[in-house]
Structure formats: C-alpha cells, structure tokens
Amino acid sequence: MATPPSGSNYLVSRIKEALYNSGGNKTKAMQQVMAWSAQDMQLLQALTRAHLSGIVAYHVDRVASGGAKSSGGAASKPSAQPQARPRAASPQQKMVNPAQGSPFGQAILKAASSTNASVFGLESYEAPRREDKTSPRHVEAMKHIASFSQAPQGKRR
C-alpha cells in the first residue's frame, strides 16, 4: 500500500472516499469517517488538529476546577494536592468614586442593572415594543374604519 498523503489532503481524500462509498449520503459518510478514525490515527489527527487546543483547554479547566469525576484508578489521582500560590504583592489599589467613573463604564453598569437588561442567550433581535397608550385620534380612526364593515354596502359615508 502506498504512503497516504499528509495533512488536509489525506483528510479530504478520505472524506471524498466516504462520500463516494455512501452514494453521497452525508450521514452515512460521517459514520464511515468516524469508524475509520477509530483505527486510523493519521485521520483522527487530521480531523482534530484545528480543534485540539480548544479540546485540551476544556478538559484542563474541567479537571482543574474539580468538575471531573475520578474513575478510582491510581493514574487519575494526583500524588499531592496542588498548593495555592500566594498572591504577589500588588500596589495599593485605589477605590474609584462611581460618580467620577468613565461614561462608558457608567453606561455598562446602567445597562446591566436595568430591569430591561438582556440575558445572555435570551436576547431578542427585534425592535423593542413600546407599551404606550393608544392615542384618542387612533381610536377614532379605527372606529371610523370599523363603521364601514358594520354599515350596509349601500349606506357608506
């Protein structure tokens, strides 16, 4: 067997092969590529290369924060608990009077403390609706329009 091409060329050729074998069915091609990647380390590396740093960062953060459950094996337990490092001596921090803060910072605080503040993931990209009262002029116009549908066809104003 010839040496497979390296990097993204290999990935593209294997994906094309899976699409060909599946008759163009993307779902079956995905399943085939996943099955191949279980046995083909080069394919697995080509698939994950762009995302590897994010995957590693996620798992390191999860374990460091204590969110990971250990499986009970000796390899999963660290030999010693990491010691908390003392904070470096920092210069005395000044307290800022909120009235003297920057306008940008004040606008952010005002928006965050507002009762109409957006909650991340629940934002609406529509224009905000006004809850104003209907003007008397508008009510009169609607009544006038409605009178046309209530009056007989021959007696319109």
Q: Is residue 108 part of a domain?
A: no
User: What pLDDT, on the 0 to 100 scale, is given for residue 94?
Assistant: 63
Q: Is residue 12 part of a domain?
A: yes
Q: Is 10 helix (H, G, I), strand (E, B) or coil?
A: helix
Q: Is residue 11 part of a domain?
A: yes
Total tally of structural domains belonging to the chain: 1
Q: Is residue 47 part of a domain?
A: yes
Q: Is residue 144 part of a domain?
A: no
Q: Is residue 138 part of a domain?
A: no
Taking 3-state DSSP, the helix, strand and coil percentages for the chain, each rounded to the nearest 5, stand at 55, 0, 45
What is the domain range of residue 37?
7-53
Q: Is residue 85 part of a domain?
A: no
The reported pTM is: 0.39
Q: Which long-range contacts does 23-30 make (Cβ < 8 Å, 24+ apart)?
A: none
Listed as ranges, residues in the chain with pLDDT below 70 are 1-7, 70-102, 116-130, 151-157
Q: Is residue 33 part of a domain?
A: yes
User: What pLDDT, on the 0 to 100 scale, is given for residue 67?
Assistant: 75
